[in-house]
Amino acid sequence: MSKILLLSAGTSENSGNKKAAQYALGYLEEKKIKTYLFDNLYSEIPFILEGGIVQPDKIIEIRDALIECDQIIIFSPVFNGGYASHLKNTLDWLSLAFNDYKYNELFQNKKAAIVSAVLGKGGNSYDAYSSLSSQLENYGLNVFKDFYLFSSENNLDKKLEESTQHPEFNTFLDEYLGS
């Protein structure tokens, strides 16, 4: 059975990305899938610099979980048609060589899916998906064919507050798991 790493790049407790990641965690755990969720990718992870910096504890924790996983779901906010810099920073840290792992080796033969929650209608979310998808492929990940968008039009908050099933998102997760 797969083990899945969830990376939530939301930046507040009320973040739609954080809420969607929490929902996915519950859904996957109901399916008896071992799942690791990491959020707050900005306050405990300094920006990566060139030359011999010791990896932060949070990166080591994420890295150790990722070693066990063969799938990743990334929950990414959209900023001006792009993805968050702290998300790229986290991924760059994870791409570094360590112990017996070579550069980008941690990502090899793993699948990745992208989910975005935005406050508006998501008009520029495809540009962010395209950019993030390309970056993930540069790391060596196999990116799922499509992404899932929560926008103001599909009312994420209401559905999560009422604990109603979100059939379209469940279908997306199931298709990703089966890919």
DSSP for 105-135 reads GGGTT-EEEEEEE-SS--TTHHHHHHHHHHH
Q: What is the pLDDT of residue 124?
A: 77
pLDDT of residue 103: 87
In eight-state DSSP terms, residue 47 is P
Q: Which residues of the chain have pLDDT under 50?
A: none
Which pLDDT does position 174 carry in this prediction? 95
What class, spelled out in words, does domain 11-178 have in CATH? Answer: alpha beta
Instruction: Provide the pLDDT for residue 82.
Output: 87
- Look at residue 160 in the predicted model and tell me its pLDDT: 59
Note the pLDDT of residue 80.
84
Tell me how far apart the alpha carbons of residues 118 and 152 are, in angstroms, rounded to a whole number. Answer: 7
Measure the CA–CA gap between 26 and 33, rounded to whole angstroms: 10
- Indicate the domain borders of the chain: 11-178
Alpha helices, DSSP H, located in 44-166: 57-68, 85-95, 125-139, 156-161
pLDDT digits (tens, 9 = 90+) for 102-115: 988 999 999 999 99
User: What is the model's pLDDT at position 59?
Assistant: 95
Q: What pLDDT shows up at residue 172? A: 93
Rounded to two decimals, the pTM is: 0.91
pLDDT of amino acid 101: 87
Residue 156: its pLDDT value, please? Answer: 64
State residue 132's pLDDT score.
95
Question: pLDDT tens for residues 153-173?
Answer: 666 666 556 555 578 889 999
137 in Cβ contact with 111 (< 8 Å):
no
